[in-house]
Amino acid sequence: MHKLSSRAPRLRPSATKRYTASALAGAAVGGALLFGVLSSAVFARASISADTFRQLDLFGEVFEQVHENYVTDPEDGELIKGAINGMLDTLDPHSSYMTAEDFQTMQEQTRGTFAGLGIQIVMDNEGDDKGYVKIVAPIEDTPADRAGVLTNDLIVEIDGEAVLGMTIDEAISKLKGEKGTKVDIKILRDRDAEPFELTIVRDIVTVQAVRWRAEGEFAYVRIATFSEQAEDGVKKAIKKLSKEIPGGPKGLILDLRSNPGGLLDQAVSVSDIFLEGGEIVSTRGRRPRDTLREMGTPGDKLNGKPIIVLINGGSASASEIVAGALQDRNRALLLGTKSFGKGSVQTVIPLQNGLQGALRLTTAR
């Protein structure tokens, strides 16, 4: 029996920050992202105490000793990356460092096309699943989805190497790869059973953010991910279905099942389509000035017609923002099972204009 150990606005390529309401690994790592103009330079040195600088001196001394005296010649870049990952691992499962390559991949993912497996993952830093790669949701019609990967599956082994002890970035680097290459993984689904093996062939993942169809007199709209195409896709769906259904749809079924999240601005914009203005979502950071209130604009595109929102355990981050906003305003009825439960916002902060990668940091809840 396999036992779990108890240890363990629009995208611009530079000078931006983006908030993700979740991780897509080529695998795919993701959530509610938000990009803006925050750079690492905004963190003023004046806010760092003298004691902290002394501790940084300690780090520098340890680094120097390792560099000069370790039994083999270490790679300095790997030492620094390991130290950064170790620091972020103490915070939460969603904060992480991205190399320049990873940062570029993330930008491709938000545009809806990338190479990989098509899964969104996290790595818990507490609880029974600590230290393992957990599936938030497979993206529909991707290699992982076709292989039968499910929400809350744990990846315990990648190409014969145990996941326990890896960082999430290390796991992602092993999961992603070129189109046509294979990856062997072991999946633990029933926590009291043995893991089983899957071989998945990586492919180009093109995520169609929005699909729609008429269901009798009702409109059915499926949002697979909150990429940059989500808002325009929903508006297009409503326009076409209003012409296709005689007299227009009598109501809407909005399907957010197994939608792992995406861009915060897209979640706000999609919610605004069905609301008559007012507050859609608010986030709070550790300082009062970090409080963010996203307001809608007047004009419900469905003119008050009933909405049912479908959710499940794979509905995370930006999906939960939309479902929660429509429910809280008594605009929609939620049907399904308990959603994933990710109530935080990550800011993507490019480092040295992205040349040194980026920091994905939880900045609000």
Range 143-169 average pLDDT: 93
Express each pLDDT in 120-132 by its tens digit.
888 887 888 999 9
Give the residue, 165 or 334, on which the prediction is more confident.
334
- Confidence (pLDDT) at 103: 86
Mean pLDDT for the chain overall: 84
For residue 269, tell me if it sits in a domain: yes
- Confidence (pLDDT) at 132: 93
Please say if 319 is a catalytic residue. no
The catalytic position among 145, 255, 342, 344 is 342
Domain containing residue 268: 210-343
pLDDT of 196 over the 80 cut: yes
- Confidence (pLDDT) at 32: 61
Instruction: Give the chain's largest Cα–Cα span.
Output: 78
- Confidence (pLDDT) at 140: 83
For residue 175, tell me if it sits in a domain: no
Strand partners, 295: 279
Backbone dihedral region for residue 147 (phi beyond 0: left; psi -120 to 50: alpha; all else: beta): alpha
Range 327-336 average pLDDT: 96
- Confidence (pLDDT) at 215: 96
Please say if 250 is a catalytic residue. no
Give the residue, 211 or 37, on which the prediction is more confident.
211
Residue 229's CATH number: 3.90.226.10
Tally of domains in the chain:
1
Residue 82 burial class via C-beta count within 10 angstroms: exposed 0-12, middle 13-18, buried 19 and up: middle
The catalytic position among 22, 317, 319, 344 is 317
| 132 DSSP assignment | S
For residue 115, tell me if it sits in a domain: no
- Confidence (pLDDT) at 33: 59
pTM beyond 0.85: no
Strand 345-350 to 32-35 pairing:
parallel
Lowest-pLDDT range of 6-10, 26-30, 168-172, 268-272: 6-10
Express each pLDDT in 92-120 by its tens digit.
888 889 888 888 877 876 776 778 899 98
Range 7-33 average pLDDT: 40
One DSSP character per residue, 206-246 reads E---EEEEEETTEEEEEE--BSTTHHHHHHHHHHHHHHHST
Range 343-349 average pLDDT: 82
Please say if 342 is a catalytic residue. yes
For residue 259, tell me if it sits in a domain: yes
The catalytic position among 76, 159, 290, 328 is 328
